Amino acid sequence: MSDNEEWTINQIDELIKSQTSFLNRSLLEGCERLVKEQAKRNDQAENEIDGRSWSPEKW
């Protein structure tokens, strides 16, 4: 996970703690899950590109 993604998650966590509205908390928790899922998919895509570029079948 990149520094930007970690910073975003930390900011969302702080906002969640300060919210009293259930709807706002739910929305922010959904945003946090989205950021985490996008980070995971980004890592997977980077690893796939790395794996394909080093595949002996492509040489």
Nearest Cα to Cα of residue 11 among 42, 37, 35, 45: 35
Alpha-carbon gap, residue 49 to 27, rounded angstroms: 33
Nearest Cα to Cα of residue 9 among 30, 26, 20: 30
Domain that includes residue 24, residue range: 3-54
Alpha-carbon gap, residue 9 to 35, rounded angstroms: 7
pTM here?
0.80
Q: How many domains does the chain have?
A: 1
Question: What's the pLDDT tens digit per position in 5-58?
Answer: 999 999 999 999 999 999 999 999 999 999 999 999 999 999 988 888 887 776
On whether residue 59 sits in a domain, the answer given is no
On whether residue 41 sits in a domain, the answer given is yes
